[in-house]
Structures are given as structure tokens and as C-alpha cells.
Amino acid sequence: MAGVVSLIIAAGAAMIYALLHYSIWSFGMPGSGLMPVIASVMVIVSCLWTIAAGDTGERPRFAWPPVAYSAGFVALLPLAAIVGLLPALAIVAAVVLRFIEGVPMLRSAMVTASIAIGSWLLFERILMVPLPHGLLGGL
């Protein structure tokens, strides 16, 4: 429970920072603060859903998952600079689902693919926000 509360606090802080320092919408287009706000809302809703669902008795493999999640979010930055945002999101999602949450391989692959495709559809196609392609994206 403490981990879920700490994730809510971290996501809330990230959302407040994005709202105060970046524009959500400018010149008729999505601004640089839109993705952090959407991601923060998704994390907060997921955490609240976890709290509402109650404890199932299962324990994650890591003693304190928020540390592993935070490490994944931090790893997302250099990975995005190297391979691009969408592949980096897919890598981090796959690692978190498979090794931290213990989700079976097929299910984690399907969720990872859904995350990558959904992010691409939402930001590149619907909102027309150019996402970073990384150093390897220009090859």
C-alpha cells in the first residue's frame, strides 16, 4: 500500500510540475506538457484502481516495486535518446511486466505491443506530436 501511495505522490508531483512549467496546448496543437500530464493521470488512475481492488495476497518479486518502477522511468530517458521514445517505452514496459510484476511472457508481449501501438496512435497520428526518434532512429 505504501508503494501505491508513493507512486500517486510522485505522479501528482510530476503532473503539477508539467502543468506549471510546460504548456498543455498552444497554437492549436498539443504542447510539450501534454504527454507528462496524460501519463501522470494514467498512473494515478491505475494506483487508485489498485487500491479499490484491494489486496489479492500476491506479493511482487521485488521487496519495494516503486524503486524498480522509478529505475525504469529513469532508464527511459537515456533509452529514448538512443533508440527513440516508443521503442524505449516498449523495452521498459516489457521489463517491468515480465521481471517486476511476473506477468507471463505472452501477456507481457501483448500489453507491451498495445502500449507502443497505442502511444504511437495517440501522439503521432491523432495529436500529431512528433516523438523523439533517438540516435538510432535516423539510421
Q: Are residues 73 and 54 in the same domain?
A: no
What residues does 26 pair with on adjacent strands?
29
What residues does 29 pair with on adjacent strands?
26
What residues does 30 pair with on adjacent strands?
25
CB 129, CB 34: distance < 8 Å: yes
**Residue 139 pLDDT grade (very low, low, confident, very high; cuts 50, 70, 90):** very low
Q: Are residues 54 and 69 in the same domain?
A: no
Q: Are residues 130 and 101 in the same domain?
A: yes
How many domains are contained in the chain?
A: 2
**Residue 113 pLDDT grade (very low, low, confident, very high; cuts 50, 70, 90):** very high
Q: Are residues 95 and 116 in the same domain?
A: yes
Q: Residue 76: name the closest of 64, 65, 90, 66 by CA.
A: 90
Q: Are residues 44 and 69 in the same domain?
A: no
pLDDT tens digits, 26-43: 787 777 777 778 888 887
> Where in the sequence is the domain holding 49, given as residue range(s)?
1-58
Q: Are residues 77 and 129 in the same domain?
A: yes
Q: 3-state class of 26 per DSSP?
A: strand
The answer for residues whose C-beta is within 8 angstroms of residue 47's C-beta and 6 or more apart is 4, 5, 7, 8, 11
Q: Give the predicted TM-score (pTM) of the model.
A: 0.59
Indicate the range of 64-73, 99-108, 122-131 predicted with least confidence.
64-73
